[in-house]
C-alpha cells in the first residue's frame, strides 16, 4: 500500500480504535506527534513502533523538534537552544557556528531516530527580520545567505543521523506580523523584494538538495491572491519550475487560521493538493480526517507517492545505545556550550 496525502494528529499517548482504523486507510500517509502524545522515550518508542507496524511501507511519523519554544519532546531529550543562538554565534565566529549547527542537527535527529521518528519539520528558513513574533528566535538570522549557510550545516547533521530535512515556511513567513496560526497574514512586498530577501534562502537550499519544504499560509498580495499553500503560482511556477525543486511539499496545518478562508476542510484539502502539495497536515481530531478519507477516496498521484516514499528515516541507534555513544556526549556538551537561557514554553 502506498502512502496517501493525509498526515494526521493523534489525541493522546496511545492509539484509539478509531485512529488505528484511519491509519490503515490508503488516503493516510503519516502521523504528526505533539506534546500531548508524549510521556517518555519508552512510551513514544512503543507508539511509533505500533504505528509503523500497521502498514507496509510504514507510515511516516513526524514531529516539530526545532529547539527553543518549539520542541515537542522534552523530558528525556536534550533541551535544544533556539536556532537564533547559532545566528548570534555566526556574527562573531562563522566557522564555529557552522560546526555547532551541524552538531545540533545531528543531535536532534539522532535522538528522534532513537525512538522511531522519521521526520522533524526543520530547519526554519524564514528570516529574523524582527517583524514576526511567531517566528522570532526560531529563525537562524536576518540575512538570507547566513540562514542558508547555517541551514546547510544543520541539514548535513540531520542526514548523518539518518533523517531527511524539511525547510519551512515557503516562500517566507518572517516578514509579516500576523500569526498564521490565528489569522491570514498578508505580505505586501513586490516579487523583486521577495526574490532578493526571503526567497533566497529557499533557493539556495533547493540547490543543495533539501528533500522537503513546508508551505506558508501567507498571501503575497502583489504576486498572487491565494495563500502560498493553495497557490499553483507559488508551488508549480516558482517552486517546481523556476527553482527546480523535486522533493516533497508539505502543507502547514490545515486547521490554522491562515487556511480557514479557503473553505471547509474538504475544500482546503482539494485546493492544497490541486496547487501542488504532496501531503496535508490535519493535526487536530479524527473527525476531519475521517471526512477527508472519504472525500479523497479516488485520489491517486504516483509522483507524490514516490516522493513520499523517500522520506522514511534510515538506521539509527536505540535510545539507550545512543546515550552510550561518545558522539552523543560530545554533541550535548557542544550544544550546551553555545546555549543561552531561552523560554521553555510550549507552542
**Which cell is 20 given?**
488505528
Q: Which of 64, 118, 137, 252 is catalytic?
A: 252
Q: Is 132 exposed, middle or buried (0-12, 13-18, 19+ CB in 10 A)?
A: buried
Q: How many residues does the chain have?
A: 347
Annotate 176-245 with DSSP letters as a single string: --S-TTTS--EE---HHHHHHTHHHHHHHHHHTT--EEEE---EETTT-SS-GGG-HIIIIIIIIIIS--
SS3 category, 73: coil
181 is catalytic: yes
169 is catalytic: no
In the chain, DSSP finds a helix count (H) and a strand count (E) of 13, 12
Q: Which of 181, 255, 284, 342 is catalytic?
A: 181
Phi first, then psi: give them for residue 168, nearest 5 degrees: -150, 155
**Which cell is 239 given?**
517552486
Give me the active site residues, please: 181, 252
Amino acid at each position: 500500500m502506498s502512502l496517501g496525502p493525509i498526515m494526521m494528529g493523534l489525541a493522546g499517548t496511545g492509539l484509539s480504535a478509531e485512529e488505528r482504523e484511519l491509519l490503515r486507510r490508503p488516503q493516510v500517509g503519516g502521523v504528526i506527534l505533539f506534546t500531548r502524545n508524549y510521556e517518555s522515550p519508552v512510551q513514544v518508542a512503543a507508539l511509533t513502533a505500533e504505528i509503523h507496524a500497521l502498514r507496509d511501507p510504514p507510515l511516516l511519523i513526524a514531529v516539530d523538534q526545532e529547539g527553543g519554544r518549539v520542541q515537542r519532546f522534552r523530558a528525556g531529550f536534550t533541551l535544544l537552544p533556539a536556532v537564533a543562538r547559532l545566528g548570534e554565534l555566526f556574527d562573531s565566529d562563522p566557522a564555529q557556528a557552522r560546526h555547532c549547527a551541524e552538531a545540533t542537527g545531528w543531535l536532534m535527529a539522532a535522538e528522534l531516530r532513537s525512538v522511531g521518528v522519521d521526520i522533524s519539520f526543520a530547519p526554519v528558513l524564514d528570516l529574523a527580520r524582527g517583524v514576526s513574533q511567531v517566528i522570532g528566535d526560531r529563525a537562524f538570522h536576518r540575512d538570507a545567505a547566513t540562514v542558508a549557510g547555517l541551514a546547510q550545516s544543520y541539514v548535513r547533521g540531520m542526514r548523518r543521523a539518518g533523517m531527511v530535512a524539511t525547510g519551512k515556511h515557503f516562500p517566507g513567513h518572517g516578514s509579516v506580523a500576523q500569526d498564521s496560526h490565528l489569522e491570514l497574514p498578508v505580505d505586501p512586498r513586490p516579487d523583486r523584494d521577495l526574490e532578493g530577501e526571503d526567497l533566497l534562502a529557499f533557493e539556495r537550499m533547493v540547490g543543495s538538495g533539501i528533500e522537503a519544504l513546508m508551505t506558508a499560509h501567507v498571501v503575497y498580495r502583489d504576486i498572487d491572491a491565494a495563500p502560498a499553500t493553495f497557490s499553483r503560482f507559488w508551488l508549480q511556477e516558482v517552486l517546481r519550475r523556476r527553482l527546480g525543486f523535486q522533493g516533497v511539499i508539505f502543507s502547514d496545518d490545515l486547521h490554522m487560521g491562515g487556511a480557514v478562508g479557503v473553505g471547509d476542510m474538504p475544500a482546503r484539502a482539494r485546493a492544497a493538493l490541486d496547487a501542488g502539495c504532496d501531503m496535508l497536515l490535519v493535526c487536530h481530531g479524527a473527525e476531519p480526517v475521517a471526512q477527508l478519507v472519504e472525500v479523497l477516496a479516488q485520489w491517486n498521484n504516483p509522483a507524490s507517492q514516490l516522493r513520499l516514499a523517500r522520506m522514511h528515516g534510515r538506521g539509527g541507534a536505540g535510545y539507550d545505545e545512543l546515550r552510550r555513544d561518545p558522539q552523543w556526549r560530545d554533541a550535548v556538551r557542544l550544544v550546551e556550550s553555545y546555549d543561552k537561557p531561552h523560554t521553555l514554553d510550549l507552542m
